[in-house]
């Protein structure tokens, strides 16, 4: 059984997607050039808004978590795993990690790739400010 959470966000001119170990979607409505892991801003939801059943499913070490980002006809999915230590309590952002580090923003661990691995056409669309749909599924 697959559970899903959908976040609506948008790109920003400073989206560079160059980070080697993380990617992030934030509710913040601005982005500085230093935020090289951020793929989308102005998200309408954060982990604290997620359904408790979804959060519980993410806390299974055997769970497969897939994050799909779509913008302007381009899409990219990245898969990782859940973790019993996932808190999913942050009120501002979700972060995917290629490592096993967990904090209140972490949505997935051992991700296949980080921001630098996302399709460049998708990144360009986000850098042009395109509307983005972020779908997080867990099974």
**Length of the chain (residues):** 139
Query: In this predicted model, what pLDDT tens digit does every residue of 29-78 receive, in sequence order?
Result: 999 999 999 999 999 999 999 999 999 999 999 999 999 999 999 999 99
Percent residues over pLDDT 90 in the chain: 99
Tokens of 25: 């979607």
CATH number for the domain including 98?
2.60.120.630
**What's the rounded Cα separation, in Å, for the pair 63 and 139?**
6
What per-residue confidence (pLDDT) applies to 2? 86
Percent residues over pLDDT 70 in the chain: 99
pLDDT at residue 110 is higher than 80: yes
Query: In this predicted model, what pLDDT tens digit does every residue of 65-99 receive, in sequence order?
Result: 999 999 999 999 999 999 999 999 999 999 999 99
Write out the chain in H/E/C secondary structure: CCEEEEEEEECCCCCCCCCCCEEEEECCCCCCCCCCCEEEECCCCCHHHCCHHHHHHHCCCCCEEEEEEEECCEEEEEEEECCCCCCCCCCCEEEEECCCCCCCCEEEECCCCCHHHCCHHHHHHHHCCCEEEEEEEEC
What per-residue confidence (pLDDT) applies to 59? 97
Range of the domain at 98: 3-138
Overall domain count for the chain: 1
Confidence of residue 1 (pLDDT cuts 50, 70, 90): low
Tokens 């400010």 locate to 129
Q: Give the pTM.
A: 0.96
């Amino acid at each position: 059984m697959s559970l899903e959470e959908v976040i609506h966000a948008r790109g920003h001119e400073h989206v560079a997607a160059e980070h080697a170990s993380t990617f992030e979607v934030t509710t913040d409505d601005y982005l500085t050039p230093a935020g090289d892991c951020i793929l989308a801003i102005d998200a309408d939801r954060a982990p604290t808004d997620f359904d408790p059943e979804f959060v519980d499913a993410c806390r299974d070490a055997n769970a497969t978590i897939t994050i799909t980002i779509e913008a302007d006809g381009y899409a990219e999915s990245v898969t990782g795993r859940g973790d019993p230590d996932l808190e999913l309590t942050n009120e501002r952002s979700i972060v995917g990690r290629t490592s096993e580090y967990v904090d209140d923003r972490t949505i997935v661990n051992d991700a296949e790739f980080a921001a630098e691995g996302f399709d460049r056409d998708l990144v360009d669309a986000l850098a042009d400010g395109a509307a983005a749909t972020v779908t997080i599924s867990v099974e």
